Amino acid sequence: MELVEERACRYRIERHGPMRVPGIVFATRDLLADAEKSLEQVVNVATLPGIVAASYAMPDIHWGYGFPIGGVAATDIDDGGVVSPGGVGFDISCGVRLLVADCDRRELQPALRAVMDGLDRAIPRGAGPGGVWRLSGPGQLERILEGGSRYAVEQGYGEDRDLMRCEDGGAVADADVMQVGARARERGLGQVGSLGSANHFLEVQQVAEVHDETVAAAFGLAADQVCVMIHCGSRGLGHQICSDHVKAMGQAMARYGITVPDRQLACTPVDSPEGRDYLGAMAAAANYGRVNRQLLTHAARRVFDRAAGVRLSLVYDVSHNLAKIETHTTDGTRRRLCVHRKGATRAFPPGHPELPEDLRDVGQPVLIPGTMGTASYVLTGVPGGDAFYSTCHGAGRTMSRHQAARTVTGRELGARLERAGVAVRPRSWRGLSEETPEAYKDVSAVVAASERAGLCRTVARLVPLGVVKG
């Protein structure tokens, strides 16, 4: 596939065939070395009805369901623009939450082992059921789906500041519980407040470098400070919602005269009954994901308080698998768009009206988890950010889990991490081996490419002290 280099870390795939817009890829040649299949998905996304500007891909691009992971696409709602569940993914509202401790590494060190052992016991994880909150029944689940973190905080699982520092104030509006099917509810009932498995984690970290002291201070970060990063999503409930609505849209497309080059791109107009139903169910799953991270925050706070007398405060919580209705200027016209971000993080610039007042002058915190034993990053949005103010979401996978597990055993990897000073608490050794750092791109290279492309700016680099894995 021909990639035309427009400038540093920005490549263009010219329109051809049924493409309605070009493809724009933010990356280096090295980061795209094994991206042929995912670049084909960039081209396929460019055929969606109503798509505007371009089909975008972030530096951590890799192959996904329909859309590439690291894909961004916006459709014009008033011009027949579609919504596609494949542009959000199965783990709806998978995202990252960063907490900051009122201590530095030196102060925590004597209690670190006790903290990690406490987190190992307190954080439910793995593929099956089990969560921090045992719900009373379907009625309480519905209140979670409608109210998100706001409901959790009302029930004593957090503080008001948590809502101020969470995307959408802790809850996505317009959730429609009636569009969440029985099987999705069944799966969600027993998993709220749990990490899940695969690449999800809770990590104790240290601020290793501060690149922008003014912004870091506004975020509450300082050199050597201890942090906690939580990466998880909407578990089986979100997965089932995606499956249900992909099927419904696949059956409905012919009625709207829509054809797509890949059935995984099933879609319908945003303003169609099927489009509205999906967005309502997606919002409900997003609220479940917010509650999930809120409850894990509550569990982590209790462990840190008991084991070390340390308090944790929320820096920010942001999703990287979501479709949102936003207004942007394209071709000189303000348009109401459905912005799909799949494996891509919203990165609003300073002054954006949707940011909390105490962050409006510096921009939105953008949280980029790395791989075990490497680094994670805190970025911020920048004026004129491309791709509808979006940037990368992590390192980007290069190996399948099966391939990764063949390269190293979990015990070998655990020992390696421990020698490097990272305390490891896995649910299973197999799960640990599947997430070996060699299975991912270099997160530092991904962040550097994102910054060179003008999508964001680096605020701080974080390194792991201990990790709890599913």
Q: Give the whole-angstrom CA distance, residue 325 versus residue 424.
A: 40
Q: Give the whole-angstrom CA distance, residue 389 versus residue 23.
A: 16
- Residue 397 contacts by C-beta under 8 Å, 6 or more apart in sequence? 62, 69, 199, 439, 440, 441
Residues identified as active-site? 393
DSSP conformation class of 440: B
Q: Give the whole-angstrom CA distance, residue 101 versus residue 108.
A: 10
Show the DSSP H helices in 309-454 as ranges: 386-389, 401-407, 410-419, 429-434, 443-452
Radius of gyration of the chain (CA): 21
Q: Give the whole-angstrom CA distance, residue 312 versus residue 99.
A: 6
- Residue entry with tokens 């991904």: 446
Instruction: Output the six-digit token pair for 312.
Output: 């944790």
Q: Give the whole-angstrom CA distance, residue 244 versus residue 254.
A: 18
CB 287 within 8 A of CB 145: yes
CB 468 within 8 A of CB 123: yes
The dihedral through the CA atoms of 76, 77, 82, 86 has a sign that is positive
Cα–Cα distances (Å) from 360 to 210, 256, 450, in that order, read 20, 41, 22
Q: What are the backbone angles phi and psi of residue 247, rounded to the nearest 5°? A: -65, -45
CB 110 within 8 A of CB 145: no
Size (the chain), residues: 470
Q: Give the whole-angstrom CA distance, residue 413 versus residue 373.
A: 10
Q: SS3 of 383, please? A: coil
